[in-house]
Amino acid sequence: MNSTEYRGKIKRVLITKEEIDSKIAEVGADISREYEGKPLLIVSILKGAFVFMADLCRAVDIPCEIGFMCAQSYYNGTSSSGIVNITMDLAQDISKYHVIIAEDIIDTGRTLADVIKLLKARNPLSLKVVTLLDKPDRRLVDLKADRSLFTIPDLFVIGYGLDCGEMYRNLPYIAEYDPEGQAEK
């Protein structure tokens, strides 16, 4: 794929870098206030949330640790099986931390529901979910983030860590993906 083909699939920018930055600054300040004096661990599930995590943790100005996990969830029909395959686990013993999961997007909610179940079983001091994007129209499990930065309609989005076929994670904004998009002339 060349650059013009790449750009041709970007239908429109949904959320600009400036809009993302300003929301993250707000959430970072709130987290800093709420968790002051508490052992805080911010966890993200690779790969989609890596850009959000990088910006969010720098908007937090209290001491905190970060952790990454790789997780694949198994589904039976439309319900979550509760079986999640962790291909890379956290290094920290989370029973010693207040944990915030920083997620890229909640779509059906199945993966995150399984990860929450797994992490709760490890008895963290507390567990909250902050998601950059929420697509509530697509939800298949009963799951609501404690904080959602942007609610979006049922569109496939790319950029700011989110991919389509492993591409577009490096776009600095969130865009709608156009599968029919042609190379720019």
Active-site positions read: 107
Site for Mg ion in 95-124 (CB under 5 A): 104
Cβ closest to ligand IMP, residue 130 vs residue 162: 162
- Report the distance separating Cα 163 and Cα 158, nearest Å: 5
Taking the C-alpha atoms of residue 152 and residue 64, their distance in angstroms, rounded to an integer, is 29
Using rule CB under 6 A, residue 159 touches ligand IMP: no
Closest separation in Å from C-beta 112 to ligand IMP:
6
Number of residues that bind ligand IMP (CB under 6 A): 14
CA proximity to 31, closest of 84, 88, 100: 100
Closer to ligand IMP by CB, 80 or 124: give it: 80
Among 5, 88, 95, 156, binds ligand IMP (CB under 6 A): 156
What angle do helix axes 50-59 and 17-34 make, rounded to 10 degrees?
50
Closest C-alpha among 88, 145, 139 to residue 116: 145
| Residues contributing to the site for ligand IMP (CB under 6 A) | 48, 104-112, 156-157, 162-163
